[in-house]
Amino acid sequence: MMKVVQAILWLCAVASLVVPASAQKKGIHEDTRKGFRMKLPEKWNTVPVQIDEKWIVAKFQSNRTYETKQTTVYSGAPHRPVILVIEFDNEARKLRVEEEQRGDTTYVNKNTPFRDYKDYVKRNAEAGYYIDKEEESKEAGVRCVKYQVRIEKNADTRKRFLTWVFYGEKGELAVECEVSEDNFEKIEPMMLAALKSFQLIPRTTVEATAAITGSEGGDTMWTTDRRKWRELSVEDRQRRRKRIEAERLEKSQKDLLAGWTAKRTKHYLVLSHADAKYTARIVEAIETYRTWLEQEFDSVSDEYVMHGVIRICADLSEAQLYTKASGNEDSFNPDNREVVTYQDKSEGNAGVSWGRLFVGMFAQYIYDKDALLYSYMPGWSRAGLYNYVRSAKIKGGKLTFEPEDNENNYIREVERAGEFAALKELMGPKLDGEMKTDTDTERAQALRWVAQTSRLMRWILGPGTKFPEMKDFVVDYMKRIIVIAEELDETQRNTRADANSEEEELKRTQDRKTYWTRVRTEILTRIDADKKWSEETWSTLQKAFHEFLKK
């Protein structure tokens, strides 16, 4: 593993381009590490693959969008065809069983690799999918199984996947072409041409053994064995995290695709596919925002917050494809540890409002301060904080937090209806399982409720600080969440065991579905007991908050 001098991590580097390991000439994509070659449709873009992606080895996207028919309120969005190359390596999909002895009990942990393409579709496809066709063939001199998958029922955009699975010596490579149903007949010939061009070739580039073996890097103690991690000194923990940090930053900018730039700031590596002006504005904004994060939340724990990667995609569709199949639904996911945003052309280059970016940076910072805080934070505080940081804006080099128009509109609706919620209710478990969003009416009610929690956070961090109960409230609240979550999480880990019957497995499944509702409600109950606020205190705070709501 390449050792990076720590001092370099604090310096800004000149933006640079790195030649990708996979060559692409005249529309031909050739990967000598994974052993394949194919001809892409004309003017298609190559999208980066996340550094910890274990199955996706290549992503390609059309340079144009195709309109789709609107059949529901949520459908009708333009769609860009996509091609993924997915690897099912014989070694990677072996079942591995790890045993851990705790006292007199042996705990068994099993990995869950994809068995084949059909298993991959089952676990990743949207609701309403079905395999329409499956046939054996021989293409490019090797065995090939061809699939057609349809996604129709309950789908916002009806899609069809044409997938050819090629069988090689080390496993299979599946080439999956995603097309909207409304444009399938028009685009099918283009996709078939790409599939027919696919060839397995000798692997002439030897892959180095992966230096990063887990989602946190080679050293995973801080999430896999919390007790042992906390027994280390602050200096040891910081030293380990800085090693993880250096390894990830080095790997993240290796094999950067053409058109992408890399720039180091004091705390971040910025990888950008946006234009230079937009990138420069974000580079300026992130350090201003990071300074605020440190001022407000450094005291949450003594953990070192690692330098992060901020990836600026060219547009929303590229960002969506980059995070596809990773489980990353927003701008940050702990598995890939990147904050993913994109250039919104509708904003021009002013770039004063980057809600997605700031939410991701906040989540990344909180996750490093304590992974349990990131997972166990009750719904009201998560919604309030996320909406608060989402509204951050840079004006004249300074950070401001002003409510968005939609939040103001929802608050006006609540005021007109005379439905301001009681403070105790807002800080309760309603957002952890009680709130329903099945109908338009329920969704509107939920949005009005969330707007009130957002306003509550603005009051707590603003005029509410004049009350003794609100002094350092958010940081103290976070610290208490960590203490309680640590106990609940350890209990959950220690009671985890393989089911011995179908009934036990069914109960485990039901328990998993309700776990977060139960534990977050437990956290809220215990924190309320800790506060020991009298009814008079609740009434005084509620009155002050409701006055703030009306302004």
SS3 for 228-274 is HHHHCCHHHHHHHHHHHHHHHHHHHCCCCCCCCEEEECCCEEEEECC
* Residue of 536, 15, 6, 551 lying closest to 264 (CA atoms): 15
Average pLDDT on 15-38 reads 67
* Residue of 166, 156, 174 lying closest to 119 (CA atoms): 174
Amino acid at position 324, single letter: K
CA-CA distance, 178 to 170, in Å (whole number)? 25
pLDDT at 147 over 60: yes
Residue 92: which pLDDT band, with cuts at 50, 70 and 90? confident
CA-CA distance, 546 to 392, in Å (whole number)? 23
CA-CA distance, 543 to 311, in Å (whole number)? 44
Residue 323: which pLDDT band, with cuts at 50, 70 and 90? confident
Q: What is the pLDDT of residue 72?
A: 67
Query: Which listed CATH number (3.90.1150.10, 3.40.1000.10, 3.90.1200.10, 3.40.50.1370) goes with 15-200?
Result: 3.40.1000.10
pLDDT at 19 over 60: no
Q: What is the pLDDT of residue 10?
A: 24
Residue predicted with more confidence, 324 or 310:
310
Q: Angle, to 10 degrees, between the axis of helix 535-549 and the axis of helix 440-461?
A: 100
**Which of 6-10, 66-70, 251-255, 273-277 is the most confident on average?**
273-277
CA-CA distance, 548 to 535, in Å (whole number)? 20
Task: Give the strand pairing for 28-31 and 23-25.
Answer: antiparallel
Task: Give the strand pairing for 338-342 and 308-313.
Answer: parallel
Q: Which residues contact 406 (CB under 8 A, 6 or more apart)?
A: 451
Common-topology check for domains 15-200 and 225-369: no
What is the average pLDDT score of the chain?
85
Residue predicted with more confidence, 377 or 70:
377
Q: What is the pLDDT of residue 508?
A: 66
User: Which residues share a beta bridge with 393?
Assistant: 353, 400
For the chain, domain boundaries? 15-200, 225-369
Q: What is the pLDDT of residue 436?
A: 82
Q: What are the percentages of helix, strand and coil residues in the chain, rounded to 5?
A: 45, 20, 35
What burial letters (b/e) apply to 440-464, b meaning 16+ CB within 10 Å? eeeeebbbbbbbbbbbbbbbbbeeb
pLDDT at 408 over 90: yes
Average pLDDT on 359-380 reads 95
Q: What is the pLDDT of residue 304?
A: 97
Residue predicted with more confidence, 336 or 326:
336
CA-CA distance, 382 to 430, in Å (whole number)? 12
Residue 216: which pLDDT band, with cuts at 50, 70 and 90? very low
pLDDT at 57 over 80: yes
* Residue of 292, 327, 317 lying closest to 215 (CA atoms): 327
Residue 409: which pLDDT band, with cuts at 50, 70 and 90? very high
Q: Is 446 left (phi over 0), alpha (psi -120 to 50) or beta?
A: alpha
pLDDT at 464 over 90: yes
Average pLDDT on 528-545 reads 94
Residue with the two structure tokens 């065809």: 81
Q: What is the pLDDT of residue 164?
A: 98
Q: Which range, of 97-101, 393-397, 427-431, averages the lowest pLDDT?
A: 97-101
Query: Which listed CATH number (3.20.14, 3.40.960, 1.10.287, 3.40.30) goes with 225-369?
Result: 3.40.30
| Digit-coded pLDDT (tens) for 288-312 | 999 999 999 999 999 999 999 999 9
* CA atoms within 13 Å, Cβ hemisphere of 392: 25
Q: Residue 120's Cα: distance from chain center in Å? A: 19
pLDDT at 493 over 60: yes
